[in-house]
Structure 1
């Protein structure tokens, strides 16, 4: 367990270091895992599976909000903007990711060493996969062969083979202090992980499963966004006031080439879907910045109330859905009006936000 430090939320309640930073929450959250009637439990080994089915249409999909301190997921009706149910998952659900076949969204339960598979269209729990150690952040490689998790509490990155149904552990890589967020390049050759407590960006070669570079960064690095041309990485600095730009063209070690001022506590990215802009939430400044990644500058500032964290963007690009961490709400921001137009009450310390009906990730 990560040691606590004397910090408090705006409401006066004590929180852990990782929860304050929006990088985890280590309060006691004893919510039960999905019941046998809801989920099928499987060991993390290779299993046979049938032919891959084409994904159904996306329209009208629910919005999922991970409540890290409640150990559950809020399901939001994206037409009426109301919470319709809570899904118990496990301790400390922080991030989620779509399977390559688009038939499941995986919720990573860091404190329960498990993954919960949920139907992204119906919100039905499909199964629970146990034995995945401390899955804080997670990603699939674009070629769909690799599944990677960052163990934020246990200081390692795990590389799994993905057979279309289950992950099989290939290599556990000791990284140093507190791996946080992951990014995988478009060629499925390289993984980058931010190192929250050692202020580094580490580079991992997927083919050999080896750590190849350590690059010093600014304070408390968090989320990573790679530009579609493969030339640059953007790195949010939760302990700073903006975003660092790294040149990674040609597979070289990351080289710091610039900084973009956004606001205090720059944290999580989400592409606007127009192949030019990416949003970053500024956790301390309570704002969201739009970055033009062609010109590498911030071009707009939007409101982001009560500790904005993870976001998603509607398919038409007009609505940002962001977790307001300290308020326990999902905030809806109208991009054109540049204002908060609605909030939905969810659980404690909302972190990951995701919907299938989203804008393109570039």
Structure 2
């Protein structure tokens, strides 16, 4: 029988600990799904496709966003008036920030100086200075009814906000926190996505059957096209190739792929259960989408053109996010 010295045993244990640490580091980061009506987050292992844990949050978590340093994933709890900070790699809760009023939707400006939230129930948009650690409220801007989703241009000068129950798109100057213009849209505008050159905005019309495209290159916006995708057009996610954009059609139970150059639908994928928020894998092949009415995370294989997997989550799943995603 071979006998090891104490020093040799310590070396073996150290090596084992290092191998475990390396395995944890190399493991793919989880997929997060917000369960809006259960006040928690489902954490999904993308290897076994099982729910590993549920993280409690404040009431009605709807959307989430990564901090500029990529160290924290912020879950915005609308009815809880809180932000829950979670490690995007380990799913460990880091802290809770209180006193953020009705944070339904949120975005950081590309220059990393501003955190902006939309108060969906209370009809205002809040501008917070961001120092890398704490949001500091600078101004609260009253809006029309039900500010829903936001997009910030690449220069961090303008935030565009959809007004879901006023059928409007509003542009706000970030430096002065004032409204620049507002324009009418189709029925129930929801998510907003801007082209890379800051010249076009795509607006999902949840109360209709498609996406409205606006030219925002001039002093005043112009509605230039309506792309028919499916009823309940709602949320966007970039395909990662700089050209294509996905939109979920909640009522039509489908996801459409739009060519942003030609402004045409080039593919459609059937997705049951009211597809809502999405994320796209880093290689662009997989779409992870919350099936809002089925309590499922659905995985779409874009090569096969269909749902290939579903994972049970909580009530009314909404926001979906993972650290290893396609470029946005």
TM-score greater than 0.5 by the shorter chain: yes
Residue 24 of structure 1 is matched in structure 2 by none
1:302 to 269, 280, 284: 269
Residue 95 of structure 1 is matched in structure 2 by 63
* 2:318 aligned with 1:342: no
Separation (CA, whole Å) in 1 of partners of 2:138 and 2:36: 28
Q: 1:116 to 1:282 in 2, by over 3 A?
A: same
Structure 1 counterpart SS, 2:79: helix
Give the number of equivalent residue pairs.
305
Pairing 1:1-362 to 2, within 5 Å after superposition: 60-250=28-218, 252-361=219-328
Separation (CA, whole Å) in 2 of partners of 1:77 and 1:328: 17
Q: Contact 1:58–1:356 at 8 Å: present in 2 too? A: no
For residues 286-339 of structure 1, the C-alpha deviation after alignment (integer angstroms, 9 at most, x for no partner) is: 000000001111111011211000000000001000000010000001000001
Gaps of 5+ in 1: 1-56
Separation (CA, whole Å) in 2 of partners of 1:195 and 1:303: 28
Separation (CA, whole Å) in 2 of partners of 1:132 and 1:230: 29
Q: Contact 1:63–1:76 at 8 Å: present in 2 too? A: yes
Separation (CA, whole Å) in 2 of partners of 1:58 and 1:268: 31
Q: 1:71 to 1:355 in 2, by over 3 A?
A: same
Give the greater-gyration-radius structure (CA). Answer: 2
Deviation at 1:283, TM superposition (A): 0.5
Deviation at 1:214, TM superposition (A): 1.1
Deviation at 1:253, TM superposition (A): 2.8
Q: Contact 1:63–1:75 at 8 Å: present in 2 too? A: yes
Deviation at 1:254, TM superposition (A): 2.0
Deviation at 1:59, TM superposition (A): 6.4
Separation (CA, whole Å) in 2 of partners of 1:325 and 1:119: 25
Residue 11 of structure 2 is matched in structure 1 by none
Q: Contact 1:266–1:283 at 8 Å: present in 2 too? A: yes
Deviation at 1:255, TM superposition (A): 1.2
Separation (CA, whole Å) in 2 of partners of 1:349 and 1:148: 24
For residues 167-204 of structure 1, the C-alpha deviation after alignment (integer angstroms, 9 at most, x for no partner) is: 10111000010000000000000001000100000110
Separation (CA, whole Å) in 1 of partners of 2:96 and 2:198: 35
Deviation at 1:165, TM superposition (A): 0.5
Runs of 4+ in 1 over 4 A off after TM superposition: none
TM-score normalised per structure 2: 0.92
Residue 3 of structure 2 is matched in structure 1 by none
